[in-house]
Amino acid sequence: MNLPLIGVSTSVTVDKYPERAYINAAYLNAVQQAGGVPVPLPPQLGPAARAELLKRLDGVLLTGGGDVDPARFGEPPHPTTAEVSAARDGLEIELTGWAIEHHVPLLAVCRGLQVLNVALGGSLHQDIPSEPGSPLDHSQTVLQGKARNITTHQVKVREGSRLAGILGALEVDVNSFHHQAINRLGRELTDVAWAPDSIVEGVELGDGARFVVGVQWHPEELVGHDRAARNLFAALVERARAGERLRPALRAR
């Protein structure tokens, strides 16, 4: 059985010395548990290195992290905007466009879902507590004693959606670490999952021929005890293994 290569975006330090690219091990473990080989993609990669890696990747995983620059969707930054990296935004938006163009399966997690939406022309609520406002705490990091693998609210999933088929459930309990969220949906995206306060928690590309799925929670932290979370990474790896694109043709370019 072949082991598909899954490109995994990394976080990056902002205004700190020394500059670092890094990634939570949970993402790497989740991809490997599903049968894939994670390949970290730091924004420091130059054009030649990026191009060489893209010839070999079978799937893409966009990870969580700092805020997407509001300038990307035509707004000034909210006072709570933090950890913005122009280099990371640029790489991940480029990756998103490349994956969609070449029918490379893509799974977007938390910030990744937001990047996917912005890359397709959508916009974000910059700070849920103040806009649009919600009684639900979407950032459990401020809750004492809440580990990253503890769930804090429920998500309802649209029946008949690709996401529902992958998860194997119409309701899932999720963890939550974000203050930005989808506002205006990007082109071709369909919202298919919601928190109790109607914040969008899941999207997929309307074109069923391409595997493009995004979730607002962090399934990589739940794979140890949650089948629905494992199913997400298994679906990405299985679709990558199926080989949606002609890799030899790209290598020849």
Catalytic positions: 110, 218, 220
Q: How far is it, in rounded angstroms, from Cα 13 to Cα 113?
A: 20
Bond preceding residue 132 cis, omega within 30 of 0: yes
